[in-house]
Amino acid sequence: MVVSWLKHRFSGGLLALDTTNTVVLRGDPANSFDRFEDAAEIARFAEAASGFRSTELGARGLFFQHSAAAARQVVALREAADGLFREAAADGEIQTGRLPEFLRASAACLDESAERLGAGGMPFGDLSRPMRFEVALAVSALSLLADDAWRKVRICRNCRWLFLDRSRNASRLWCDMSVCGNRHKAKRHYERRRQAAREAVHA
Ligand SMILES: [Zn+2]
């Protein structure tokens, strides 16, 4: 099935987190699935991310040149980043034991890259040509370790996606209020009504 890479799928607020969210319903083995299972989706995701993550990327475009090795590198970094930052979000601390896998996966994605980050004042460098997706993914993931940026990573209460909470009072609960916030409210409303109905029966 071809994935529609809609705005909601970029609710992570950072390229690296949007990428971790390409596994749907993590922690729910019966329903979880991987949108990158078909590696052709990585290229389509990279193209959509060029638009949705334009601010982070300084308007640099991304592309993914498919190869089995490149797809493996992307998935390896995605999983290492999810493990590291999900745990950091839950516990409020970084486990050094998780760093080697994360750093190795980042290094593999950066291997043979020759980018000049910050060139021309652009965070991801030269805008005249697109950047390899796996390189941008590594730069984005590593940026979470700078200046304690990882402290803003949250886990959506509804879908368990990771997202960056940039709200002033750091109080966001949902990756996307219009989707997960409303679903949660509807569920609570339903549960309250069911409870009220039950109490009416027992009254
Ligand atoms: Zn969510």
DSSP per residue over 61-128, as a string?
A: -EE----HHHHHHHHHHHHHHHHHHHHHHHHSS--GGGHHHHHHHHHHHHTT----TTGGG-TT--TT
Residue 24, SS3? strand
pTM of the model: 0.90
What DSSP designation does 152 have? G
Cα(20) to ligand 1 centroid in Å equals 13
Given this model, what pLDDT does residue 192 score?
77
Cα(91) to ligand 1 centroid in Å equals 19
Q: Does 202 have pLDDT greater than 70? A: no
Given this model, what pLDDT does residue 187 score?
74
Cα(23) to ligand 1 centroid in Å equals 12
Cα(157) to ligand 1 centroid in Å equals 7
Cα(199) to ligand 1 centroid in Å equals 31
Cα(130) to ligand 1 centroid in Å equals 30
Cα(176) to ligand 1 centroid in Å equals 6
Q: Does 189 have pLDDT greater than 90? A: no
Q: Does 183 have pLDDT greater than 80? A: no
pLDDT range class, residue 7, cuts 50, 70, 90:
very high
pLDDT in tens, 99-140: 999 999 999 999 999 999 998 899 999 899 999 999 999 999
Residue 109 CA, chain-centre distance (Å), reads 17
pLDDT in tens, 22-52: 999 998 889 999 999 999 999 999 999 999 9
| One-letter amino acid for residue 18 of the chain | D
Cα(175) to ligand 1 centroid in Å equals 4
Cα(201) to ligand 1 centroid in Å equals 35
